[in-house]
């Protein structure tokens, strides 16, 4: 679908003549159409060219990095290679906290703009404050617009976002706020249809009713909230109409949730509903975006250098799971060089779409949300949720769930329910979770009236409170 940009000259509608700010972004997007298909060696050479600028700046202007880079053998002006890059130390989240202002640049190159501050989620118990330049935000916006263009979204349609709306008072106002456009960087370039802000703090039944009433073609929300909406849809027999795409962000999108959404909300006689995912972080920006043609996630290499490493620090092969280490190419205000973002991922083979950007075949989850076994080993927590949710009576009864490891040998299955579960249903959940976890933990059910989300709106379906106690405990 062709979306015609705004024109800055009256009467010159086609071809449009964009205003300067929009033209600058379009110029970068034009480069993306070439860089996304470069041979991998050329793309790496361009990344190292940009990383050389970042390292030289960090060496000179960031107190933390001077001695760290010297100790690793780095010298400004020496060409950067894969070997010299691999000698640089990994930066852990706890080191970012401990370094504090020593990670802040004393000065910035001309043109990088003002500095803003963002704070990451504190779900790990280790919140991090990230300083970001206007230039960093500009590249982030370019990558967001690229995703819109990749997915060929109809910009004239309605986009609904279900997030926390801090501009409204839930006690005085309804959960829906209407906007004249989609918000974000897109309206600066293209005319768009209306935007809808839906506050997630409203009851799930009310959220679903509003979605059904408004019929947005595009819906954006957290995977955990999407799961709750599906539960409500199944229990009530009501489902949205007119949806073309559901976009998730902020949390890991489980394959079973993608499949259930497509199966539950696709309409007969229409193309199957698309369910896409975004991989980003406050500290780094956009990390990977879905391929528009294949079931793959492309690393956004024009903005981030991404590595997947084994425990010994060597690169993982295709198909091998490891920890994600990332470097933002353009954040000179607070460089995070080879930053361990505490995620796990797997590289996939080259994509059949022809784009040569690296492929993430899977994002199993965040390392801090792994279950700890009694012998000290750690593994990802499959606790049988897809099996449990195949039972129709349980789908109708369970409003929300969360699983938490509370002791080395104990896991707590927390439930918000519409009705009391029967003894047989309770036993089925406990037996399924116990077996799925490998039989190494006692599983107990705990009923809650509410399982609150973080202020950001994120929600951890599994949380390891044994290794990462909640703040204040």
Q: CA-CA-CA-CA torsion for 13, 14, 17, 18, nearest 10 degrees? A: 80
Whether the CB-CB separation of 207 and 229 falls below 8 Å is answered with yes
Cα separation, 248 vs 277, in Å, equals 5
Answer whether residue 455 shows pLDDT above 80: no
Domain assignment of residue 90, yes or no: no
Cα separation, 453 vs 458, in Å, equals 6
Tell me the pLDDT tens digit for each residue of 372-416: 888 876 666 778 777 887 776 786 788 778 899 999 999 999 998
**How much is the pLDDT for 132?**
94
Task: Specify the range with the lowest mean pLDDT, choosing from 250-264, 360-374, 432-446.
Answer: 360-374
Q: Do strands 398-407 and 462-464 pair parallel, antiparallel, or not at all (unpaired)? A: parallel
Mean pLDDT of 14-30: 92
Whether the CB-CB separation of 348 and 308 falls below 8 Å is answered with no
**End-to-end Cα distance, the chain:** 52
Omega within 30 of 0 (cis) for the link into 154? no
Helices (H), 196-254: 204-214, 223-236
Average pLDDT, the chain: 89
Write the burial class of residue 133 (CB in 10 Å: 0-12 exposed, 13-18 middle, 19+ buried). buried
Answer whether residue 136 shows pLDDT above 90: yes
Domain assignment of residue 129, yes or no: no
| Coil vs helix vs strand at 214 | helix
Domain assignment of residue 416, yes or no: yes
**How much is the pLDDT for 127?**
55
- Nearest of 436, 439, 390, 337 to residue 91 by alpha carbon: 337
- Nearest of 244, 206, 202, 208 to residue 226 by alpha carbon: 208
Main-chain phi, psi angles of 204, to 5 degrees: -60, -40
Cα separation, 229 vs 200, in Å, equals 11
Q: Give me the residues paired with residue 116 across strands.
A: 132
Torsion sign (Cα): 396, 231, 206, 166: positive
Number of C-alpha atoms within 13 angstroms, CB side, residue 468? 20
Domain assignment of residue 25, yes or no: no
For 131, other C-beta atoms within 10 Å of its C-beta total 19
Main-chain phi, psi angles of 371, to 5 degrees: -85, 140
Main-chain phi, psi angles of 59, to 5 degrees: -60, -40
Query: How confident is residue 94, by pLDDT bands cut at 50, 70 and 90?
Result: confident
Write the burial class of residue 359 (CB in 10 Å: 0-12 exposed, 13-18 middle, 19+ buried). buried
Q: What is the 8-class DSSP label of residue 369?
A: G
Domain assignment of residue 188, yes or no: no
Instruction: Give how many domains the chain has, as a whole number.
Output: 1
**How much is the pLDDT for 237?**
93
* Both tokens assigned to 112: 């990088």
CA angle 23, 109, 145 (to 5 degrees): 30
**How much is the pLDDT for 365?**
61
Domain span including residue 439: 370-464
Mean pLDDT of 5-14: 88
Domain assignment of residue 393, yes or no: yes
Cα separation, 179 vs 158, in Å, equals 10
Answer whether residue 367 shows pLDDT above 50: no
**How much is the pLDDT for 472?**
52
Tell me the pLDDT tens digit for each residue of 268-310: 888 899 999 989 988 899 999 999 988 889 999 999 999 999 9
Between 456 and 210, the higher pLDDT residue? 210
For 217, other C-beta atoms within 10 Å of its C-beta total 16
Domain assignment of residue 357, yes or no: no
* Both tokens assigned to 89: 């130390």
Residues 6+ apart with CB under 8 A from 102: 62, 63, 64
Q: How far is C-alpha 394 from the chain's CA centre?
A: 29
Task: Specify the range with the lowest mean pLDDT, choosing from 49-53, 55-59, 66-70, 255-259.
Answer: 255-259
Task: Specify the range with the lowest mean pLDDT, choosing from 165-179, 214-228, 244-258, 446-460.
Answer: 446-460
Answer whether residue 33 shows pLDDT above 70: yes
389: CATH: 3.30.300.30
- Nearest of 427, 368, 370, 372 to residue 394 by alpha carbon: 427
Domain assignment of residue 132, yes or no: no
Cα separation, 400 vs 415, in Å, equals 6
**How much is the pLDDT for 453?**
67
Whether the CB-CB separation of 43 and 51 falls below 8 Å is answered with no
Rounded to the nearest 10 degrees, the angle between the axes of helix 223-236 and helix 255-265 is 40
Look at the block and give the residue holding tokens 């379009």.
26
């Amino acid at each position: 679908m062709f979306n015609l940009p705004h024109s800055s000259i009256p009467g010159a509608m086609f071809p449009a003549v964009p205003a300067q700010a929009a033209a600058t972004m379009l110029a970068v997007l034009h480069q993306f159409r070439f860089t996304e298909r470069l041979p991998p060696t050329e793309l790496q050479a361009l990344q190292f060219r940009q990383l050389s600028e970042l390292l030289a700046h960090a060496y000179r202007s960031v107190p933390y990095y001077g001695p760290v880079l010297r100790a690793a053998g780095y010298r400004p002006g020496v060409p950067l290679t894969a070997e010299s890059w691999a000698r640089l130390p990994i930066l852990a989240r706890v080191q970012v906290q401990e370094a504090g202002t020593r990670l802040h640049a004393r000065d910035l190159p001309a043109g990088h703009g003002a500095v803003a501050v963002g704070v990451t989620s504190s779900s790990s118990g280790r919140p991090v404050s990230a300083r970001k330049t206007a230039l960093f935000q500009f590249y982030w916006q370019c990558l967001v617009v690229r995703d819109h263009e990749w997915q060929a979204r109809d910009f004239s349609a309605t986009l609904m976002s279900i997030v926390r709306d801090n501009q409204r008072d839930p006690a005085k106002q309804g959960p829906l706020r209407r906007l004249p456009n989609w918000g974000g960087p897109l309206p600066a370039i293209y005319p768009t249809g209306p935007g809808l802000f839906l506050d997630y703090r409203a009851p799930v039944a009310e959220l679903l009713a509003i979605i059904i009433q408004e019929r947005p073609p595009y819906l954006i929300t957290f995977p955990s909230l999407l799961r709750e909406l599906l539960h409500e849809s199944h229990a009530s027999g009501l489902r949205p109409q007119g949806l073309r795409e559901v976009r998730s962000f902020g949390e890991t999108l489980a394959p079973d949730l993608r499949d259930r959404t497509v199966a539950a909300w696709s309409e007969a006689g229409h193309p199957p509903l698309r369910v896409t995912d975004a991989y980003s972080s406050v500290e780094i920006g956009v990390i990977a975006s879905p391929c528009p043609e294949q079931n793959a996630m492309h690393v956004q290499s024009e903005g981030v250098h991404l590595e997947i490493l084994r425990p010994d620090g060597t690169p993982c092969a295709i198909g091998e799971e490891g920890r994600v280490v990332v470097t933002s190419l353009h954040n000179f205000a607070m460089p995070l060089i080879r930053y361990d973002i505490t995620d796990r991922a797997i590289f996939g083979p080259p994509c059949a779409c022809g784009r040569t950007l690296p492929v993430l075949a899977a994002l199993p989850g965040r390392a801090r949300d792994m279950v700890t076994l009694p012998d000290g080993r750690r593994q990802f927590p499959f606790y049988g949720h897809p099996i449990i949710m195949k039972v129709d009576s349980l789908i109708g009864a369970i409003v929300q769930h969360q699983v938490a490891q509370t002791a080395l040998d104990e896991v707590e299955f927390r439930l918000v329910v519409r009705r009391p579960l029967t003894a047989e249903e309770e036993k089925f959940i406990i037996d399924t979770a116990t077996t799925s976890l490998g039989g190494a933990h006692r599983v107990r059910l705990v009923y809650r009236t509410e399982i609150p989300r973080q202020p950001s709106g994120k929600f951890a379906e599994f949380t390891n409170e044994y290794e990462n106690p909640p703040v204040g405990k």
